[in-house]
Amino acid sequence: MAFSVVFSDGANSREWAHMHPSAIRRRKHSQEDEYDDQVHVAEIQAEGDFHELANVFLPISISIASFELACTAMAAPPTTYLLRRDRVEAIRLGSQHLAWQRHLNHLLDPNIPIKDGMEIADIGAGTGIWAIEVANQLPSSQVTAFDVADTHFPSPEYWPSNAKFDLLDLLRDVSSELLGKFDVVHLRMWAFVVRNDDPNPLIQHAAKLLRPGGYIQWEDARFENSVVKGEPAVQFRQMMRQMSNAARLNFLWLEELDQRVKCADAQLEVVDFQKQPWLSTHIPLVMDTFLVALENSGAILGKLKLVDPSVPNSEEWMEALETLHKDSCKPSGSQLYWLPVTLLARRSG
């Protein structure tokens, strides 16, 4: 089975062919300056499970902006992040943040005690919009925004003086210097990252970052129970199911996030768990940001089609989205949007 991956920084590009996932994983133990040697080592015939290969290549092919980032992506296990990290996505995250703020009316959950010098981590921070706003609101706190990719990180001159950004893959075990460091760990919109209905590693790694008595604050999307109204929405929902099945995304865990957190063997007690629906006045913004995300994720369909040929191609996807969008603009038109879920948990001790 022949596979090729092209890494490019705009000026240079290099094609790697016939790579086996084990060769890629070996790469993570090597030094940056051994990169070329590793390419050579990696040029072995690919055999084995097609799903495994596809899963390795998915995150790599969409998260590369430079050779540097390629190294980061390769060091990570497959995360199947389905969204292209481009300018439109950065703006979409800003709009989605606005929707969450309108819904919650708080950045930090009011049940979390505020103290001077508290350490706050935002994990999978994207543009860091939540982290930056928390840092501004709580100037005596120290806020760190982590993400597996730095594509969306603002340049350091825009960071508040009490905030910083850093790379971290939370699906892998956390390094010892971060253990027990934080009073609050914030997670938002991980639904499209967790695969195989298994949030356990994520929950456990997040809990390890907490001091005893520290809090996990989590906001996410109940994609399994999305609102689907009108034929164009029903049709599109069917396409989404084909896509998420191919990506091994299953959103049932979000319906029972409280139970999953309790049973994760992570010393967490659930303080609050809510499935409050959106106010109707917020729905247009939520739906718009969702449709933009769906537009964005169309870019990955070609890769998913290799895993499962029944996945729609990007033309079919965009056409169906356009039909849905047009219908949604009519009075009492179609609706397709996800519902929110929020959780607050405290680490015992």
Ligand X SMILES: C[S@@+](CC[C@H](N)C(=O)[O-])C[C@H]1O[C@@H](n2cnc3c(N)ncnc32)[C@H](O)[C@@H]1O
Q: By the 8 A CB rule, do 69 and 75 touch?
A: no
Q: Does 126 bind ligand X (CB under 6 A)?
A: yes
Chain residues 97-116 in contact with ligand X, contact rule CB under 6 A? 97
Q: Does 125 bind ligand X (CB under 6 A)?
A: yes
Q: By the 8 A CB rule, do 304 and 298 touch?
A: no
Q: Does 149 bind ligand X (CB under 6 A)?
A: yes
> Closest approach of Cβ 329 to ligand X, in Å?
25
Secondary structure tally for the chain: helices H, strands E: 13, 9
Residue from 284, 297, 288, 306 nearest 239 by CA = 297
Q: Give Cβ neighbours of residue 155 (< 8 Å, ≥ 6 apart).
A: none
Q: By the 8 A CB rule, do 164 and 145 touch?
A: yes
Q: Which of 24, 112, 147, 304 binds ligand X (CB under 6 A)?
A: 147
Pick 46 or 254: Cβ nearer ligand X: 254
Q: Which of 108, 165, 169, 206 binds ligand X (CB under 6 A)?
A: 169
Pick 34 or 68: Cβ nearer ligand X: 68
Pick 37 or 68: Cβ nearer ligand X: 68
Rg of the chain in Å (alpha carbons):
20
> Closest approach of Cβ 172 to ligand X, in Å?
7
How is residue 113 annotated by DSSP?
P
Q: Give Cβ neighbours of residue 219 (< 8 Å, ≥ 6 apart).
A: 100, 104, 187, 188, 189, 340, 341, 342
Candidates 21-29, 39-47, 123-131, 325-333: pick the segment binding ligand X (CB under 6 A): 123-131
Q: Which of 189, 206, 240, 291 binds ligand X (CB under 6 A)?
A: 189
Candidates 17-25, 35-43, 141-149, 339-347: pick the segment binding ligand X (CB under 6 A): 141-149
Q: Is 55 left (phi over 0), alpha (psi -120 to 50) or beta?
A: alpha
Tell me the one-letter amino acid at 12. Answer: N
Candidates 106-114, 122-130, 255-263, 312-320: pick the segment binding ligand X (CB under 6 A): 122-130
Q: Which of 138, 143, 171, 257 binds ligand X (CB under 6 A)?
A: 171
> Closest approach of Cβ 6 to ligand X, in Å?
21
DSSP H helices in 159-220: 200-208
Q: Which of 53, 58, 60, 93 binds ligand X (CB under 6 A)?
A: 93
> Closest approach of Cβ 89 to ligand X, in Å?
8
Pick 39 or 75: Cβ nearer ligand X: 75
> Closest approach of Cβ 205 to ligand X, in Å?
9
CA distance 173 to 19: 25
CA distance 81 to 60: 9
Degrees, nearest 5: CA angle 322-246-88: 40
The 10 Å Cβ neighbour count of residue 154 is: 15
Degrees, nearest 5: CA angle 258-263-269: 60
Pick 70 or 149: Cβ nearer ligand X: 149
> Closest approach of Cβ 127 to ligand X, in Å?
6
Q: Which of 79, 217, 334, 342 binds ligand X (CB under 6 A)?
A: 79
Binding residue count for ligand X, defined by CB under 6 A: 19
Candidates 46-54, 124-132, 279-287, 296-304: pick the segment binding ligand X (CB under 6 A): 124-132
Which spans of this chain sit near ligand X (rule: CB under 6 A)? Answer: 79, 81, 93, 97, 123-126, 129, 147-149, 168-171, 188-189, 193
